[in-house]
């Protein structure tokens, strides 16, 4: 989305795109010809009561923002329209205030950039703006596991996996996974995991299965590989070659795994997503 903010007293230019005045009052001394607006939407502006209470006092801006966002909850469809406009070209929110950081256009732009608007749920008959993040989830940086003893956990994990530590403290350790890590901490303060688990990617799932079985860890003979460590952490293991999860070639080389390649099925799944 391309959203810009501009004072009504600044010259209008072609690159402004769709110019929308978002104030309730027309800016003093500005003619219609000079404003060159595509639209003036008074209904989007803060109510007269809120505008008067705020009085452009920066000390009141946080509370003004909160109240104005509540008022915008009734503008679900209009906000959708503005997001569509901003998705097709530049949308410039025009305002009159002298302060470029504490005004209604700043709040409105933030709402448009950060949330999508939708009805609050099936069966709800009232129009409600439900915030939905527009920030894209990119991956998992780390997983934090609780154990009774970090020393014992490192010794246990070391029976089955080759790894290096990113850091170590008396009650914490960080197992390095290249560009990710597992954080171990003691003591354990929660019950053993049931269905909750995390997925650990390894370079050879079947070799790990064999090592776990040799150590009398309860794991299935074939198929999916899931087990609990002695402290109740539930771990599902997947083979790097068989999943879409991909590390960069630079990271793999640094980990000594430069020869690791994806299976045909995994490559096909990545290809369908346009990721190869």
Contact in structure between 2 and 89 (CB atoms under 8 Å): yes
- For the residues 25-39, what does the mean pLDDT come to? 92
Per residue in 179-202, pLDDT (tens digit) is 899 999 999 999 999 888 999 999
* Pairwise CA distance, residues 152 & 174, whole Å: 14
For residue 140, what pLDDT is reported?
82
Per residue in 245-274, pLDDT (tens digit) is 999 989 888 888 888 899 999 999 889 888
Quickly name the fold that domain 142-272 has: 2,3-Dihydroxybiphenyl 1,2-Dioxygenase; domain 1 (3.10.180)
Q: What is the mean pLDDT of the chain?
A: 87
Residues of the chain with CATH 3.10.180.10: 142-272
Residue 109 tokens read as: 């732009």
Whose structure tokens read 């780390």? 142
| C-beta neighbour count of 98 within 10 angstroms | 10
- For the residues 140-168, what does the mean pLDDT come to? 94
**pLDDT higher than threshold 70 for residue 117:** no
**pLDDT higher than threshold 90 for residue 75:** no
């Amino acid at each position: 989305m391309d959203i810009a903010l501009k004072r009504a007293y600044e010259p209008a230019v072609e690159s402004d795109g769709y110019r929308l005045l978002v104030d309730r009052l027309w800016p003093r001394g500005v003619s219609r010809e000079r404003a060159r607006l595509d639209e003036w939407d008074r209904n989007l502006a803060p109510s007269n009561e809120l505008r008067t209470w705020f009085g452009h006092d920066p000390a009141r801006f946080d509370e003004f923002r909160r109240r104005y966002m509540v008022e915008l909850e009734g503008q679900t469809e209009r906000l959708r329209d503005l997001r569509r406009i901003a998705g097709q070209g530049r949308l410039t929110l025009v305002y009159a205030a002298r302060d470029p950081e504490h005004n209604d256009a700043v709040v409105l732009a933030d709402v448009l950039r950060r949330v999508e608007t939708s009805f609050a749920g099936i069966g709800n008959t009232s129009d409600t703006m439900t915030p939905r993040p527009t920030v894209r989830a990119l991956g998992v940086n780390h997983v934090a596991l609780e154990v009774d003893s970090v020393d014992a956990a490192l010794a246990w994990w070391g029976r089955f996996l080759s790894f290096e530590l990113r850091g170590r403290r008396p009650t914490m350790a960080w197992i390095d996974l290249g560009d990710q890590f597992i954080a171990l901490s003691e003591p354990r303060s929660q019950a053993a995991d049931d269905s909750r688990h995390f997925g650990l990617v390894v370079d050879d799932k079947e070799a790990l299965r064999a090592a776990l079985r040799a150590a009398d860890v309860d794991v299935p003979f074939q198929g999916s590989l899931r087990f609990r460590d002695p402290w109740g952490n539930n771990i599902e293991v997947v083979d790097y070659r068989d999943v879409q999860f991909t590390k960069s070639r630079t990271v793999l080389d640094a980990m000594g795994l430069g020869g690791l390649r994806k299976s045909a099925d995994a490559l096909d799944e990545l290809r369908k997503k346009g990721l190869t």
